[in-house]
Structure formats: C-alpha cells, structure tokens
A and B are shown apart, each in its own frame.
Chain A
C-alpha cells in the first residue's frame, strides 16, 4: 500500500489559452486512507484522478506515489488500479478474461492467474459469472467486474471515477456499502471521485473539495479534511454551501457587535442574530454573510432560541414523510436562492403564510465579504 503526494500540481489542457483546469493542488494522502474528491461538475476532480492514474500528463508540479516521482511513468508502472465511470469492460471477453487480461499481458503463470481471479471473484461474489460476457451482466455485476479487474492486479492505490453514478438508487446504496467493506478488507489507499456528497460523507476518511477555478484564484483546492471537519468548520462560503444537503442558508447582513465568543449581526431585513463565532478580525459595520443549515433551524419554541429568529413568507412546502421542508423567501437571502427549513415533524404551514424559525447561536456560521469563514467557537449539537 502506498502514500500519494501531490505538490503544486497544475493542469492546463491548452497552453495557448492560459486557462488552467487545476492549479496549485497540494495533497498528502496517507497509506490506507479513503480519499474522496468532490466538487461541482467542471471543477477538475476527474482530471486530477486521471493525472494520478497517468491518463493525463501533469503540466506542472510533482506527483509522488510511495515516495517515487511518477510524473513521467506510464500508468501500468504506477501500480494503480482504476475503476471507470462507464466500467470500461472489454465487451468481447468473458468476465474471467476481463479480469485476467492485465495478468496475461504480464506473462504471469496460468495457475497464479487462475488463483488470483478466483480469489477476487470470491470476494466480489462473481464466481457464477466468470464465463459470461459483460453483455449478460447487470449494472452492479459489471461494476463488480471492473473492481475485480483492479483487485487481481494487487495495486497499491485504487482509483474510482464516479463508480456508482450509473447505477440506480437502490443498487448505489448497496454498492456503496460493498466498497466500504472492500476498503476495510483490502486496507488499500483509495481515491474516489464523486459528485454525490452522501457517498463522500459516508465513505471518506478525508474529503477534498474542489471548485471550478476562478481566473484570479490561487488554487481550486478549497478544503481537505475529514467529513465532519468540513461539515462543522468549512473554511469558506464555497465549502459551506457544497457540503450538506439541503444546502446551507446564507443571509446577508452586517456586524453589530463583536466579542471573542460571540458576534451579533443585523440582517438586511433588520432582524438581529447572535452567532457563536470569533469575529475579532472583522470590525463593526463590516458586511458579512450569515450561514445556517436548514436542519439546525428551530420550528418549535422559537422564542427560546438563543440566536434570534427569522421571519419570511412561505413559497412552497414539501412533505417527504420522514422530513418536512419549507422553502421561504427571505429578503436577506441572495436573489434566486430560497431560505430552506428542514423539520422532522409535519408543520402547519401553507404557501403564502408568514413563518418564523428560531436560530440557535451555536448553529451559526459567519463569513466575511470575501467568503472566508470566521472561526466558530461552538459546534451545535441537535437535542
């Protein structure tokens, strides 16, 4: 198993136009870690994975696998295995031949090939399908063959490029668990690309959030940390908005008072909210953005909320049975984005109503005008 180290990695597809896809990516991936790259489409997460695999060249910077610089090493010599979004099985070969292809190219002993393939098939539950062609397999089975093709090579790093996005919802949950199990069994370094944050939050030891590169930005690596770290302490507006579903609510306002433990802000609608945030690097009168997650808003005992309350007009309500969503139009929100409330119990509201929710002070996130987060002094625990 191996460590993967990326240092100041840059990718530019077309040097003629100075438009980088990735810039200044620094990652230190420890042996045995399960790393997930997430980001909206077009942020370069697949490109980064393909660069690690050796399917794209690296414009600048260094890529080290196991301490060895592999920038110019072909994919087959990097000791990696990759599972493609489209599975990329060889359609004219049986499952056995698909899995044995790489080993045959290495002129491995036939008995050893058989042993490895059967072992991998055993782990993945594919013994019954070894003589079938990919055409005769279901989506989940094909995905398992693709994983099996990696396992038999015994790579030190597994690369998964959105492996579950082609599966239906039920199968996706099942395969997600199988991949988690596989990680425990193999204890291999896994790098996993997805746009599904449920996969990211559940599977990852560490998540790497990427954003589409802005021309002036130093890097499009927004934050690299454990799932809960990203959830509780996002470094900026982008990560805060990207991690969490439904999306975090953002309200515009300005600082009214500052202390080491707390900060009071006045929203542009006039409502005052207190947040458990150390905003000492700002000053009174600075315009800020207050963030609060939909699931942290209080719909009962509103007046008991220590942070304050927000009132707005209801646009739509959604009842999912287990959850209840209220979408409101707050004057303090960005134009075009709703103020979302998530409740565990059904609420007696209909569209058009004025509705108030309470904000716990500990549940607040605060960002300055540039979108950089102020450090939070407390982490909200739901009662």
Chain B
C-alpha cells in the first residue's frame, strides 16, 4: 500500500498480528492434541502435547493402518533355572504364575555357540519349549561354577516359543530385569487391528468422490437452468430449496431410514446398508451448491452463450464448451466443499450403514469410543487418517482455484 499511514498504525498492526497468531494457536490446538494422542502410549486423552521418546509409540498407527501390534507383558513371579544336559547343551527351566496358575516351561536343549552365532540385539534366538507339570530334577540344576557360563547365554536375546503356527506364543527373557536369581519373563502378545480402518477410509473416499462428482454434475446443470432459462416458478423453487436446506438432515433420520428401507425392496443397490443408498441421500444436499454455482454463472456475460448460439452451438454445447471451462474455479470450490462435507458426515451414514465393512471412516472411528473403554489413541490415529484425503483433494484442486479465467472475453 502506497498510502501514507499514521505512526500508530505500527502498534495496531502488531496487535492485529498477535491476535491472529493467538487465534491460529487456539484453532490449531485441538488438531495438535489429536496428533499427539495418536503417538502417545496407551489410550489417554491427557498428557504431553509433544510426546517424549520414552512415552511415544507407533502402535496406534500400526493398528489404524492394519498391522498387528506386538505387546510384551511381564509374567509375574517367574524364576529361571538352567539345566545342563549330558552332551554339553543347555536347557532353561522357567517357573511362572502365568494366567494365575503355576507353570513350568522347559526348552529343548540348545548350545551356547548356536545362540551366539545366530542371535543379535534385535533378532532373538528362538528355542522351542514345552510345558511340564512336574519340576525338573534338582540334580540336573547347574551348580555355581556354571552360573557364569549361563549368564553368557543371556548376553544374547533369547525367546522361548511355545506351540506351533499361529497359536504360537513367545516368551522373552530380559537379562537386565533381574531380581536375585529370577529374571524378567515377558510374554509376547500379538494384537490384531480391531477394526478395518483402511477399508473404512477407502469407503469414505469412494463415497465422497462419487458424491462430489454427481453433485457437480447435478448442481451445474440445475444452476445453468436457474441462471439462464426462464420458466414458471423459478423464484419459488430457488427460495424453497434454500429454506428446506435450512432444516438439518438429522431431523429426518427416521424418515430417511424408512425411505431407504423401502427403496431397497425394489432397487437393492440403493437400499439400506449400501453405498449407493448413502450417495443418493447425500445428493439431496445440493441446494446450496446450486446457489453458489448460479451466482458464479450470473457473473459470466450471457452474450458469450448468445455468440455461441449464433455460431451454431446447441444450448448443451454452449454450456459444455463455453460456460463450463470458464467456471472451473467454482466447480473446484463446490467439489471440495461437497467432498469435505461427505467425508465428515456422520448422522445419515450412521443410520444407513450397518455392516462393519460398509462403514465410512467418520462413522467407523467412533467404534473406538464405547463407554466402558475409550480407545483415545486408536481413535486419534483414525481421525488424523480421515483428514488425509481431504488434504490431498484440496491440494490437487488448488491449481484450479485461479482467477481471471473470463478476462478479455467481454469488455467489463
């Protein structure tokens, strides 16, 4: 700005900047919270905004992205003894109170040299083991002179594997977790993802894309009619659409349910629990988009289409070849708006969709929050994930949000 300003403007500018920064922080805070929770150990909604290395974990993200999560639970009251077999190999005997009952786990014999050769800090040396109800013979217990050697076994990471295939359970021995003669024994627990989050995400993207595309198709053609054509009742319909749009769809949930139940009897792919039905219900919300696009169409000089008509274009050709290419910015805006509102919509989707595998992410992620167990961490990861497609669509659509498309066409 080249206008000369008074000196007090400097302070007002600083105040305005401070306000804007504070405002930005305020609205960014919940997002940061969610991101932080998704990286935090456990399912707690309170804690550090920036999790430290000790308390952070990727487990919530693993679950959200469909990977198994491995948990190590300390088995209480475990003691370890070593047994030397006759051929110079070792066996480990673990006594524990796992699952509230005393158990003995005995490994198959293994040689220390094998362990040293194969195990590293990350990859444990896995030894098969079996359970034994009676104690191993005390005569076979290693004496003090071999204890040193035994400790050498534990220099490497050692895992005991019980059972075969998918039922296998692994126990890890941690040499650093030593109390007296007993070592810490950790039982490995594999947690499969509780919900098909990626499938939900795909459902969301699919529904949102198709909905946004169909909304664009419907609302541009309707807006063209409202902006350019003369017909009876035009004003009444336009105002009517606006007024009916003011009632939230939530008010009609029961009606929507009943309606799609009935539709499903005749056209199954548009009925309850189908994405077709959900998309159809979302198509009802185009009134505002029609108004938006109509407003944009009216800024484009009608003489362009008249010129096209004289050039021999049909109304459809004038619409498609002249009007639509000039309306790309508003089409991008409407696409983004429709996409976002569809991705984030919950009430209608939660009523129309029933199967776990059909849910959208916005509805599905709420499965993490049930009154007895609020899985905040897993929920947060899914929630952040649901923001991903919106961001990508926005970034892609941004290149179409350009001004000046109609420049030079008419003298303005």
Q: Do A and B bind each other?
A: yes
Specify the chain A residue showing the minimal Cβ separation from B311.
Answer: A102
List of A residues within 8 angstroms of B308 by Cβ: 90, 101
Q: Is the CB of A90 within 8 A of B312?
A: no
Stretch from A80-88, A113-121, A172-180, A282-290 that touches the partner: A80-88
Docked pose: A91 CA to B408 CA in angstroms: 6
Docked pose: A106 CA to B307 CA in angstroms: 15
Specify the chain B residue showing the minimal Cβ separation from A99.
Answer: B311
List of A residues within 8 angstroms of B325 by Cβ: 92
Interface assignment of B147: CB less than 8 Å from any CB of chain A: no
Q: What 1/0 mask marks residues of chain B from 388 to 412 whose CB sits below 8 Å from any chain A CB?
A: 0000000000000000111111111
Docked pose: A54 CA to B325 CA in angstroms: 25
Q: Is the CB of A89 within 8 A of B312?
A: no
Interface assignment of B306: CB less than 8 Å from any CB of chain A: yes
Give how many A residues have a beta carbon under 8 Å from the other chain's beta carbons: 32
Docked pose: A334 CA to B384 CA in angstroms: 80
Specify the chain A residue showing the minimal Cβ separation from B304.
Answer: A88
Shortest Cβ gap from B220 to chain A (Å): 16
Q: What 1/0 mask marks residues of chain A from 85 to 111 whose CB sits below 8 Å from any chain B CB?
A: 111111110000000011001100000
Q: What 1/0 mask marks residues of chain B from 298 to 322 whose CB sits below 8 Å from any chain A CB?
A: 0001011011111111000100011
Q: A101-B308, A102-B312 are in contact. Are A88 and B410 (CB under 8 A)?
A: yes
Interface assignment of A149: CB less than 8 Å from any CB of chain B: yes
Shortest Cβ gap from B319 to chain A (Å): 13
Within 8 Å by CB of B306, from A88, A102, A142, A166, lies A88
List of A residues within 8 angstroms of B313 by Cβ: 76, 101-102, 105
Within 8 Å by CB of B411, from A53, A76, A139, lies A139
Shortest Cβ gap from B77 to chain A (Å): 78
Q: Is the CB of B311 within 8 A of A136?
A: no
Interface assignment of B94: CB less than 8 Å from any CB of chain A: no
Shortest Cβ gap from B324 to chain A (Å): 10
Shortest Cβ gap from A17 to chain B (Å): 16
Q: Is the CB of A80 within 8 A of B310?
A: yes
Docked pose: A85 CA to B322 CA in angstroms: 18
Shortest Cβ gap from A240 to chain B (Å): 33
Q: Is the CB of A88 within 8 A of B301?
A: yes
Within 8 Å by CB of A75, from B304, B309, B326, B404, lies B309
Shortest Cβ gap from B323 to chain A (Å): 10
Q: A84-B303, A105-B317 are in contact. Are A89 and B310 (CB under 8 A)?
A: no
Interface assignment of A134: CB less than 8 Å from any CB of chain B: yes
Interface assignment of A74: CB less than 8 Å from any CB of chain B: yes
List of A residues within 8 angstroms of B405 by Cβ: 91-92
Q: Is the CB of A84 within 8 A of B306?
A: yes
Q: Is the CB of A76 within 8 A of B310?
A: yes
Q: Is the CB of B411 within 8 A of A86?
A: yes
List of B residues within 8 angstroms of A80 by Cβ: 310
List of A residues within 8 angstroms of B309 by Cβ: 54-55, 74-76
| Known A80-B310, A101-B321; further 17 A-B contacts with Cβ < 8 A | A54-B309, A54-B310, A55-B310, A75-B309, A75-B310, A76-B309, A82-B306, A87-B409, A88-B301, A91-B408, A92-B326, A102-B313, A105-B313, A133-B408, A136-B408, A137-B408, A153-B311
Interface of A toward B, CB cutoff 8 Å = 53-55, 74-76, 80-82, 84-92, 101-102, 105-106, 133-137, 139, 142, 149, 153, 166
- 16 residue pairs from A and B, CB less than 8 Å apart: A76-B309, A76-B310, A76-B312, A76-B313, A81-B310, A84-B307, A87-B410, A89-B410, A91-B326, A91-B405, A91-B407, A101-B308, A101-B311, A102-B312, A105-B312, A134-B408
